[in-house]
Structure 1
Amino acid sequence: MTTLRPAPTETTAPTTSPARRWAALAVLMLPVLLVAVDNTVLSFAIPAISESLRPGGTQLLWIVDVYPLVLAGLLVPMGSLGDRIGRRRLLLVGSVGFAAVSAVAAFAPTAETLIAARAGLGFFGAMLMPASLSLLRNIFTDPVERRTAIAIWASGFSGGAALGPIVGGYLLEHFWWGSVFLLAVPVLVPLLVAGPLLVPESKDPAPGPLDPTSIVLSLATMVPVVYGIKAAAESGVTVTAVAAVLVGLAAGTTFVRRQLRRPVPMLDVRLFTNPVFSGAVSANLLSVFSLVGFLFFISQHLQLVSGRGPMQAGFVLLPGLVVTIAAGLAAVRLVRRFTPRQVVVGGLLLNASGYVVVLTTGDAGSDVALLVAFAMLGAGVGAAETISNDLILSSVPPTKAGAASAISETAYELGAVLGTAVLGSILTASYRGSVVVPDGLPADDAYSAGQTLGGASEVATGLPAATGDALLESARHAFDSGVVVTSSVGVALMLVAAGVAFRTLRDAR
């Protein structure tokens, strides 16, 4: 007689007590806080990095972008690896590597070294994020508990963003810029100690084989596309820029076809046939796009145009970041009275409204107007991110938690990449086209002043008073004029995102 065996189910630890579950959540929030702090601190460290390492405009964008670019390209492969070797194990390995490479970044002597170190951080960071979210899906099986846990987990991004400018601002005012990267050590040590004790291991009981070809294709999709965007911003729409984008699109098409053919794909692209899943991923991506793009220019405006120190600039943004956290937690209650579609669409429209405030105040907008705009944006991102993350996980079975988490985190990091690459490139191109550099400057100084506002500020300190003031005035006006241009793009994209969410999340429950 043949004995029928049940299909494999997700392997995880036995059901834990409520206290242990919430303690595990606290531990899993540490890598989230770390990633958020790292992104925010870097935004505020850009002026100091510009003055110290003197990177060109494209190098400066790569310093910001290479981390989320590598991370986004490897999130799916690392999520798949975690399904095989264990998500908790992957989380701990990533923590050790991230801390070690952070020390390398802290002491980087050149822009090229810092870019390489940031790429290394992206490699190990890719081990942290999908593991933390997929572990939550398996720790919190009750839908109400899970939604609250995800809201708290998502608020960790905002909490880290709030903590980053203040702690990082203190470090930047008292130490060199590299000190901000050393923040990873005190954050990751508690994770390494408490993680094995509180977080249960989980993995796929029947994983497919590793697929190196798919890993290469995922990277070959991301890198050329972002490079093409940057090249277009630097030199216009050239053959090289267009070719890079086409190569990325071709690699992406090949990747999708390969996943559809494989019996056990690295990424189950069929999940996107579910309109709720695909709509929630789109909302996730574009919400982060709006937040990171906004942070890219507001952090520079507050320091280099308004003349605030890094820590003071961080306190200016603190109310908006607190609003982001509050909106994420409030979204859990809002979906009891409103549909998920209404909450997500409302959040995306709030994002658009924040950019409208920047547009209406013009390039002479006050810091108060920017604070209001950022608070509106934060409220929208907090609500949209919480519900979209919950929809992404709840629309798939538990055995697909790793894949869904990797896709969710890929959307987050891709939004971070594109927010800086697209809006940052538009801002850089607008700045270069508007700034007036005084005649007679050495070639290196003229190049630095013509590329970034931070470069112009550094060059101006070594010029005669009248010439330096004229350069600063022109550079600040060129920068804020570029902010108006990027804000118009932000408004358009958020309106499109709201329309997509309205259409795809119709059946979300």
Structure 2
Amino acid sequence: MVGRKRWWALAVLVLPTLLISVDMTVLGFALPYLSEDLRPSGAEQLWIVDIYSFVLAGLLVFMGTLGDRIGRRKLLLAGAVAFGVASVLAAFSTSPLMLILARALLGVGGATLMPSTLSLLRGIFTDARERRIAIAVWSSAFSGGMALGPVVGGWLLGHFWWGSVFLINVPVMVLLLIAGPFLLPEARDPNPGRFDPLSAVLSLATVLPVVYGIKVLATEGFSVVAVLGILVGVGFGVVFVRRQRALESPMIDLALFANPRFTGSVATNLLAVFALSGLLFLVPQYLQLVLGMSPLEAALWVLPSSVASVLGAMAAVWFAKRFRVPVLVSGGLIVAALGCVVLAAAGVGSGLVAVVIGFVVVGGGVALADTLTNDMVISAAPAERAGAASAISEMGFELGGALGTAILGSVAAAVYRGGLPEGTPEAARETLGGAVATAQQLPAEQAGALLGTAREAFVNGLHITALAATAVLVYTGVQALILLNRKNNSAVRTESGLR
């Protein structure tokens, strides 16, 4: 693709990326409103929240491979139709079951859109430097959208009903369906080989139980069901890998993982998102429940980190012209670790400056590193397998996010509970939000004492989590410097332009 058309194509591909990332965070603000209207049970509310990520994570690998076979543009446009229809169904849902099914269909659409957008960039931008710019823009849209979600949700819910947070998807999908056929080239694997239905089933059986188990650990703590789900998923994963090795045309080319730059990039993405997700889980609670901000006010104070993410992604392009990529990735992660140290300085009475500065540094450092590792993933994989490679990269993001929320969230929760004295009401021991709700039913003096103790315990949990994230990011930075170093990979394709 030549001339300006490829940059218009990039603009089209950024639209669904931005929308999906917004959709990941916007629902949290609509939950109280839709719960009042639809009155879901506790279990139904969990499914409304979780079914989207379950389906999305479970189908990513399958959809990435399907795009390589039938055409990535075709899959992208089909996914846009599914996403648009599901958005309308979700907006006008009249029962919890209808909303759960609509959210599941949104997950199906999202699973087609994410790997398709990233893999199409490979074919559109054949020049390595231009492709790096395109991936920086793509990464900026993804990270920026996650921070915009709460702001968009807060504004919409202040002016319209809860369904509006879903309806904003429709015009974007319509624009994609109109412009896509004209601006996006078709791309597929010319020799995909025979399709293996059992591999598709095994990929779902691997991912879904693992994601479910992690979600249960994050929301309910340790349980036999959660551990069993993870073990079942790992068991199916072993069977899946063995089958891929035996097939002439596997769903996932395991030879990709023999390339240290591919494996190192996927691992770096997973661990970086792991650290970031744990902080994203705690910082909004700190701003609202410790510093007493409204949801929209808290979202606005998180926005600077979104701007930093955009700047970090674009800075990656400029720095990559002057420095070696492994050094840049490692440096970005070390900078992000320093941001975590700043976050750990937040206190009960005053901590806004530390949170904003720390989160800005974390967002910029992680965005710089992720932009370059995404470029490595796409560059290291053969062009005909770009869809499957993109899906593996996206899977790393999904698992990293789920693990970060589960593990780091559990660490923070354990520190929080350990900081409360014996005799504290059970609801207050569960979460800081429970402590705030409990305090509202107590006399002023007792309420003040409970809130003071609970907030101090929560901040201690935030400190430990920030320091744990620091350790993870430092380790990931060292690992990236080793695995991404060109001396470890003499077989790297020269077309990538990576140094």
Same fold (TM over 0.5): yes
2:474 maps to which of 495, 500, 506: 495
Quick one: which of 459, 463, 484 aligns to 1:505?
484
Shift of 1:246: 2.0
Asked if the contact 2:215–2:402 (Cα under 8 Å) also holds between the matched residues in 1, the reply is no
Q: What letter matches 2:184 in structure 1?
A: V
1:217 paired residue number: 202
Q: How does 1:161-176 map to 2 (within 5 A)?
A: 161-176=146-161
1:409 corresponds in structure 2 to 394
SS of equivalent to 1:204: coil
What is the alpha-carbon distance in structure 2 between the residues aligned to residue 360 and residue 217 of structure 1? Answer: 46
* TM alignment of 1:138-217, pairs within 5 A: 138-217=123-202
Tell me what 1:340 maps to: 325
Over 3 Å counting, the alpha-carbon distance change for 1:409 and 1:135 in structure 2 is same
May I ask how many residue pairs the two structures share in their alignment? 487
The TM-score, its normalising length taken from structure 1, stands at 0.86
Question: Helix, strand or coil for the counterpart of 2:168?
Answer: helix
Q: Distance in 2 between matches of 1:355 and 1:376?
A: 8
The Cα shift of 1:375 comes to: 0.5
Q: Deviations over 1:389-431 (max 9, x none)?
A: 1111111221121221111222222222222233234344544
- What's 1:10 paired with? none
Instruction: Say whether 1:394 aligns with 2:373.
Output: no
Deviation at 1:235, TM superposition (A): 6.3
Q: Which residue of the partner structure matches residue 369 of structure 1?
A: 354
CA-to-aligned-CA distance 1:413-454 (integer Å, 9 cap, x gap): 222222223323434454455567998x9xxxx65x554444
CA 1:60–1:374 in 2, change beyond 3 Å: closer, same or farther? farther
Counterparts of 1:37-436 in structure 2, within 5 Å, are 37-42=22-27, 65-106=50-91, 117-232=102-217, 237-362=222-347, 366-431=351-416, 434=419
What corresponds to 2:490 in structure 1?
Answer: none
Q: Please, which of 439, 456, 459 is the counterpart of residue 480 of structure 1?
A: 459
**How far is 1:467 from its partner?**
5.7
Q: Return the alpha-carbon distance in structure 2 between the equivalents of residues 484 and 320 of structure 1.
A: 19
Hey, what's the Cα distance between the residues in 2 that align with 1:335 and 1:454?
A: 44
SS at match of 1:360: coil
Query: Mean Cα displacement is larger for which, 171-180 or 314-323?
Result: 171-180
Contact 1:435 1:478 in 2 (8 A): yes
Farther-moved stretch of structure 1 (480-489 vs 29-38): 480-489
Say if 2:22 and 2:146, in contact at 8 Å, map to a contact too.
yes
The answer on whether the counterparts of 2:346 and 2:459 sit within 8 Å (CA) in structure 1 is no
In 2: Cα distance, 1:110 partner to 1:351 partner: 43
Q: CA RMSD in A?
A: 3.1
Counterpart residue type for residue 345 of structure 1: S
Q: What is the CA deviation profile of residues 248-281 of structure 1, one whole-angstrom value per residue up to 9, with x for unaligned ones?
A: 2211111111111111111112100000110111
CA deviations on 1:64-89 (whole Å, 9 max, x unpaired) are 55433431221110011112222112
| Paired letter, 2:328 | V
Instruction: Give the Å deviation of 1:377.
Output: 0.6
Assess if the C-alpha contact under 8 Å between 2:244 and 2:252 holds in 1.
Answer: yes
What letter is aligned with 2:22?
V
Question: 3-state DSSP class of the match of 1:214?
Answer: helix
Deviation at 1:230, TM superposition (A): 4.4
Counterpart Cα distance in 2 of 1:275 and 1:425: 32
How far apart in 2 are the matches of 1:119 and 1:427?
30
C-alpha distance in 2 between matches for 1:450 and 1:101: 38
Asked if structure 1 preserves the Cα contact closer than 8 Å seen for 2:313 and 2:368, the reply is yes
Q: 1:301: how far off? A: 2.2
- Shift in CA distance, 404/235, structure 1 to aligned 2, threshold 3 Å: closer
Q: Could you say which residue in structure 2 is the equivalent of 1:8? A: none
Secondary structure of the structure 2 residue equivalent to 1:202: coil
Deviations 1:438-492 (A, max 9, x none): 98x9xxxx65x55444455456556665565555445444433332232232122
| Structure 1 range deviating more: 425-434 or 26-35 | 425-434
Question: How far did residue 116 of structure 1 move?
Answer: 5.2
- Contact 1:103-1:181 within 8 A present in 2 as well: yes
Letter in 1 for 2:400: G
Counterpart for residue 22 of structure 1: 7
The 1:229/1:353 distance shift into structure 2, 3 A limit, reads: same
> Would the aligned equivalents of 2:439 and 2:451 in 1 still touch at CA under 8 Å?
yes
Is contact 2:26–2:153 with CA below 8 Å preserved after alignment? yes
Structure 2 counterpart SS, 1:203 = coil
